[in-house]
Amino acid sequence: MTPPPPRKSALPRLIRAAQALARDRSGVAFVEMALLTPVLFLMYTGAYVVSDMVTCGRKVSLTARTITDLTSQYGSVSSANLTAVLSNSAYVLAPYNSANAGLRISELQVTDASHAKVVWSKGQNATALAVNAVVTLPTNLAPSLMIPSNANNQTGAFIIMGEISYAYTPAFGGGWIPSPALYNRYFMLPRLSTAIPLTS
């Protein structure tokens, strides 16, 4: 009876297969793409959110300027006028949701180089400032001609201040991308008179 031939070890074949696999480069592009796709997606999403946030910030700034400018063109103003100005700001803020915006228009009277007191105030989605509340003015906003002076029998100048705060929410990545609160304010002098009284 002839003995069976000795069985060949499978180890050399496994070694050769592993060496061949190590030399194989046919799937490198696919692996690289699989690794880079999440990174590229995050970069694109982040760039979009930053660009959209900058655009929203510009809209916020333009809205603050617009409500201040419109109010400064009144000789006297009523509560209904102010409501209309604040409501129509939605057209300036579009396409961003005006429900996320808090707007306020106030008339101030300068008390010194750095402060002014509130004469009247009207808010939409924001609390109106209390009459006679003190507002800190930006540096160098009020020159000497606007500051009250007993020597010259000079009263403090009146200023219209428009404010807006906006709760920006990113379109993507709301859980890990911060949602900044945008804010801007503008100051303008009355156009038609030294002050704009609130009639009703």
H/E stretch holding 34:
helix 28-72
* Angle, CA of 143, 72 and 146, to the nearest 5°: 15
Distance of CA 58 to the CA centre of its chain: 8
| Contact between residue 111 and residue 117 where contact means Cβ atoms under 8 Å apart | yes
- Going through 72-198 in order, the beta strands assigned E by DSSP cover 101-110, 115-124, 134-136, 158-167, 181-188
In the predicted model, what is the mean pLDDT of residues 77-104? 92
In the predicted model, what is the mean pLDDT of residues 101-117? 93
pLDDT at 6 over 60: no
Instruction: Identify the pLDDT of residue 167.
Output: 87
Q: Where are the domains of the chain?
A: 28-188
